Amino acid sequence: MYTLPSASAERLRGWLETINTYNDTPEFGTTRVLFTPTEVAARAYVKREMEVVGLAVHEDAIGNIFGVLEGTEPALAPVWTGSHIDTVLNAGMFDGMAGVVAGMEAARLIRASGIAHRRSLCVIVFTSEEPTRFGLCCLGSRTMAGHMTEEDTKALRDQDGKTLHEVLRELGYHPAELQQIVRRKGDVYASVELHIEQSASLERSGKSVGIVRGICAPTCFNVTVTGEQSHAGGTSMADRMDAFTAASEISLLLEELGRTAHESEYTTATVGHVEVIPNASNAIPGKVKFSIDIRDCSLASKDSLIEKLKAGIRAIELKRGVRIELELQNHDTPIMCDSNIVSTIAQSCEALEIDPLPTISGAYHDSLFVGEFAPIGMIFVPSKNGISHSPEEWTEYSDIARGTDVLAQTLLTLANQ
């Protein structure tokens, strides 16, 4: 246990409220989409504040931001913390941002304490944890794990048809140098991300800190159902090939499988984005495009659900005479957290007289990909009513401060291992 100053809830609040002013939908939640002028301005603000804290700031070829507090033995593999500042549409002000400001505050506390730490500490803002702009999540950490090439950035397009490659080049980043970002095992000693829980387990248990044991991983598909566009009044019910009712049947099948067909209690299945063509009240939809998001903490359980889903989709295709195309976006692997980091977080909680809740993350995080090359851990702080990805998202600043105290103790302990 180290004697560190307590984290300042007011400072955390100031950072979070200022980051939240970089928002494209102030009338309805928070929207800060990757590499838009709003997000770029928010990045600049965070970089300035990192420098105020005393961190040496740099960015890599895909825009991951690093704020470094150098250790006494800088040649040793560093300890990482951090999260993201991009959001989904009409979101809240804590998802990702809480982990970034907690990392900055933990670094500030450690620096103010004057206690030596052998390993350097890096506070990271990962590029694009959300899939909002390019349909693929965790672009920065996915690249670090070696899953993103320059060719991939040319294939990812946003809703306006612009590629990630073009956007990176326009902002002065270097998509040709992505390979230099790739990390190998041993490059990072430990990584600990603080995040809001985005679920209600902490609140229901009356606890203020969660220790994450494992992180569920997403498998995402874009589905296109092609039927026959026709007149709503002139086409008899028997003569229709209605793409929307076929899509609806797939969605209900997915919900049923999510509820019943799995071995793990952490399975989720969601249709979140739907596009109906021509979207006219008196025309039978000829085409429907929609998203499928399946999560699980067990890969075997997720794979078994996907097989059942594909069989069910084939049956719907035959029965309704429509064509159904499934385009896989990503099929990511769940991960368990590192036992040394989990016990270090637990010791920090004990030293701070906090009784933590061991938990599983239903949401994915950049730690899912960092965990492919480094030992990871996560610290959760409560989400009011378990709500996230919504303007109703709320976490008490005092809870973020308590979580930051645990984070600072944990980072300093790991940095001296």
Diameter over CA atoms, the chain: 79
- Check if the beta carbon of residue 62 is closer than 8 Å to that of residue 145: no
Compute how many residues bind ligand HGY; rule: CB under 6 A.
Answer: 6
Using rule CB under 6 A, residue 380 touches ligand HGY: no
* Binding window for ligand HGY (CB under 6 A); candidates: 129-137, 201-209, 223-231, 296-304: 129-137
Closer to ligand HGY by Cβ: residue 81 or 120? 81
| CA 142 – CA 343 distance, rounded (Å) | 26
- Record the tokens describing residue 75, joined without a space: 């040649």
Binding at 121: pick from ligand HGY, Mn ion, none (beta carbon under 5-8 Å per type):
none
Least Å from the CB of residue 100 to ligand HGY: 14
In the shown chain, the binding pattern of residues 342 to 381 toward Mn ion, with x for contact by CB under 5 A and - for none, equals: ----------------------------------------
Q: Which of 49, 129, 372, 399 binds ligand HGY (CB under 6 A)?
A: 129
| CA 342 – CA 377 distance, rounded (Å) | 6
For residue 59, the 8-state DSSP code is E
Binding at 227: pick from Mn ion, ligand HGY, none (beta carbon under 5-8 Å per type):
none
What residues from 137 to 166 belong to the interface with ligand HGY (CB under 6 A)? Answer: 137
Using rule CB under 6 A, residue 364 touches ligand HGY: yes
- Record the tokens describing residue 387, joined without a space: 């709500």
Using rule CB under 6 A, residue 130 touches ligand HGY: yes
Least Å from the CB of residue 181 to ligand HGY: 20
What residues from 92 to 111 belong to the interface with Mn ion (CB under 5 A)? Answer: 95-96
Least Å from the CB of residue 390 to Mn ion: 11
Using rule CB under 6 A, residue 363 touches ligand HGY: yes
Task: For 276-338, give the DSSP string.
Answer: EES--TTEE-SEEEEEEEEEES-HHHHHHHHHHHHHHHHHHHHHHT-EEEEEEEEEPPPEEPP
- Check if the beta carbon of residue 47 is closer than 8 Å to that of residue 95: no
In this structure, what are the phi and psi dihedrals at residue 402, rounded to the nearest 5 degrees?
Answer: -65, -45
Least Å from the CB of residue 364 to Mn ion: 8
Beta-strand pair 323-331/357-361: unpaired
In this structure, what are the phi and psi dihedrals at residue 74, rounded to the nearest 5 degrees?
Answer: -60, -15
- Record the tokens describing residue 90, joined without a space: 């009409």
> To which residue do tokens 């387990």 refer?
201
In the shown chain, the binding pattern of residues 37 to 66 toward ligand HGY, with x for contact by CB under 6 A and - for none, equals: ------------------------------
In this structure, what are the phi and psi dihedrals at residue 238, rounded to the nearest 5 degrees?
Answer: -75, -25
What type of residue sits at position 253?
A: L
Chain residue whose CB lies nearest ligand HGY: 363
Binding at 399: pick from Mn ion, ligand HGY, none (beta carbon under 5-8 Å per type):
none
* Residue numbers at the binding site for ligand HGY (CB under 6 A): 95, 129-130, 137, 363-364
* Residue numbers at the binding site for Mn ion (CB under 5 A): 95-96
